[in-house]
């Protein structure tokens, strides 16, 4: 008999854990009669701006829209180049494409799996208008150093924080180092809605004003379109749900960190490389990702044990047929190696001790059967 499956992520468990408060928030919106860009969105924007430590926060319809609107508000358009990584969710590159700019894709470092200042510096050229820095899996990249590079080159920096809600660098939240920080509230994210949603954070008052126009057809206060915008608004229901979940964010991230630490201890000595962390950084633990050349066999073994493992990502952006003609990149050896070897194990705040033990046992039994559990085996623990 196949054991009950343990999911890689479980947004439903997040709802059930806080059902009463979430149901009350939904009821409040339904009874209000105001469903788009009302008091819930305004309150959420104020609350999350305070949480992040920024002056302004603009709720939008998705994380993809957040990157697109941030770039547009910063003046990025047709014919410009935007530097980012291929080792990311395709949404990062899709958002750049939506502005009409050319994505210039760089490789990542082999231990932290994010772009370094050296990668970015080598890619900045005369047509570069912006850099989109991805904090992959919740691991902060070297944002201060890359911001300094961008300032020297007169290039805008947008942080892609879609997977990094709750991460910090030198005591500051990610999203505070660039000209803008883009966040996603997709249901599986650390701060997840129950539908799509996103946000742009910034300290720039002028950028805030332009973002608010761009998310709603370019309208000003009198609903006169001063420029071409789009419909990218965060709705009241999602904002109300996010307000509930924001009050619990610290506890949810703490639970992810505790679960990750337990995985770390259990896998010590196994031939599993794990993502190293930038000095002074606090990983948000959005995903727990291991790296092994035996990825596909390990995944199949876990499936037989009732463990659903994910792959983030088996096809980097430059390998997608729909994007190959429009992106620009050189060799990306680390990115391509990661795509063939990374595996995401179940990780969400409500993961029970018993279910995590099943995951651990399944991983250990896989390597034990191959005689690869000796203390001298290579490992790559988080630091």
Q: With a cut of 60, say whether residue 13 has pLDDT above it.
A: yes
Supply the angle between the helices 249-267 and 353-369 in degrees, to the nearest 10.
30
Confidence of residue 222 (pLDDT cuts 50, 70, 90): confident
Mean pLDDT of 274-291: 95
Confidence of residue 376 (pLDDT cuts 50, 70, 90): very low
Parse the chain into domains and list their residue ranges: 11-106+113-246, 250-369
The number of angstroms, rounded, from the C-alpha of 71 to the middle of its chain's C-alpha atoms is: 17
Strand 81-85 to strand 102-106: parallel, antiparallel, or no bridges (unpaired)? parallel
Q: Is the peptide bond prior to 313 cis by the omega test (within 30 degrees of 0)? A: yes
Confidence of residue 278 (pLDDT cuts 50, 70, 90): confident
Confidence of residue 32 (pLDDT cuts 50, 70, 90): very high
Per residue in 66-95, pLDDT (tens digit) is 999 999 999 999 999 999 999 999 999 999
Q: Return the CATH number of 250-369, one of 3.30.9.60, 3.30.750.24, 3.30.1520.10, 3.90.1150.10.
A: 3.90.1150.10
> What's residue 375's pLDDT?
35
Strand 328-329 to strand 102-106: parallel, antiparallel, or no bridges (unpaired)? parallel
Distance, in Å, from the CA atom of 26 to the CA atom of 258, rounded to the nearest integer, reads: 31
> What's residue 172's pLDDT?
97
Mean pLDDT of 308-318: 96
Distance, in Å, from the CA atom of 196 to the CA atom of 127, rounded to the nearest integer, reads: 33
> What's residue 372's pLDDT?
66
Strands (E), the chain: 56-60, 81-85, 102-106, 128-134, 156-160, 168-169, 172-173, 180-184, 198-202, 273-274, 281-282, 288-291, 328-329, 342-345
Query: Comparing 11-106+113-246 with 250-369, is the CATH topology the same?
Result: no
Q: With a cut of 80, say whether residue 160 has pLDDT above it.
A: yes
Distance, in Å, from the CA atom of 306 to the CA atom of 117, rounded to the nearest integer, reads: 41
Mean pLDDT of 259-277: 97
C-beta separation of 165 from 191 below 8 A: yes
Considering only CA atoms, give the Rg of the chain: 21
* Average pLDDT of the chain, as a whole number: 95
Enter the DSSP assignment of 269.
Answer: T
> What's residue 2's pLDDT?
55
Per residue in 182-208, pLDDT (tens digit) is 999 999 999 999 999 999 999 999 999
Confidence of residue 373 (pLDDT cuts 50, 70, 90): low
Which residues are registered as beta bridge partners of 369? none
C-beta separation of 44 from 235 below 8 A: no
Q: With a cut of 90, say whether residue 314 has pLDDT above it.
A: yes
Percent with pLDDT over 90 in the chain: 92
- Helix, strand and coil content of the chain, in percent to the nearest 5, comes to 40, 15, 40
Q: Return the CATH number of 11-106+113-246, one of 3.30.1330.60, 3.40.50.300, 3.40.640.10, 3.40.1390.20.
A: 3.40.640.10
Distance, in Å, from the CA atom of 282 to the CA atom of 266, rounded to the nearest integer, reads: 21
> What's residue 246's pLDDT?
98
- Whole-Å CA distances, 13 to 8, 23, 281, 354, 355: 12, 14, 28, 15, 14
């Amino acid at each position: 008999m196949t054991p009950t499956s343990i999911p890689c992520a479980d947004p439903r468990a997040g709802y059930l854990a806080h059902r009463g408060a979430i149901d009350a928030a939904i009821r409040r919106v339904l009874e209000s009669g105001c469903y788009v860009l009302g008091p819930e969105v305004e309150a959420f924007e104020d609350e999350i701006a305070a949480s992040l430590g920024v002056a302004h926060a603009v709720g939008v319809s998705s994380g993809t829209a957040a990157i697109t609107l941030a770039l547009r508000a910063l003046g990025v358009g047709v014919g410009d180049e935007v530097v980012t990584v291929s080792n990311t969710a395709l949404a990062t590159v899709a958002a750049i494409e939506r502005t009409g700019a050319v994505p210039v894709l760089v490789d990542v470092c082999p231990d932290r799996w994010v772009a370094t200042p050296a990668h970015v510096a080598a890619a900045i050229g005369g047509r570069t208008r912006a850099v989109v820095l991805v904090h992959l899996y919740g691991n902060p990249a070297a944002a201060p150093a890359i911001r300094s590079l961008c300032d020297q080159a007169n290039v805008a920096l947008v942080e892609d924080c879609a997977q990094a809600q709750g991460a910090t660098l030198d005591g500051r939240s990610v999203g505070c180092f660039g000209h803008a920080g883009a966040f996603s509230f997709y249901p599986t994210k650390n701060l997840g809605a129950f539908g799509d949603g996103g946000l742009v954070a910034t300290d720039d008052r002028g950028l805030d004003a332009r973002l608010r126009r761009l998310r709603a057809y370019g309208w000003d206060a009198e609903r006169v379109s001063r420029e071409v915008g789009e419909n990218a608004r965060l709705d009241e229901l999602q904002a109300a749900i996010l307000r509930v979940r924001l009050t619990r964010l610290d506890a949810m991230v703490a639970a992810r960190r505790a679960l990750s630490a337990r995985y770390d201890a259990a896998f010590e000595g196994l031939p599993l490389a794990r993502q190293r962390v930038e000095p002074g950084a606090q990983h948000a633990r959005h995903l727990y990702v291991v790296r092994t050349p035996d990825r596909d066999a390990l995944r199949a073994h876990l499936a037989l044990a009732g463990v659903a493992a994910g792959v983030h990502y088996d096809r980097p952006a430059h390998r997608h047929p729909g994007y190959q003609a429009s992106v620009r990149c050189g060799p990306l050896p680390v990115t391509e190696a990661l795509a063939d070897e990374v595996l995401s194990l179940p990780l969400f705040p409500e993961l029970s001790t018993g279910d995590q033990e099943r995951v651990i046992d399944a991983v250990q039994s896989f390597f034990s059967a191959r005689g690869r559990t000796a203390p001298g085996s290579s490992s790559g623990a988080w630091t």
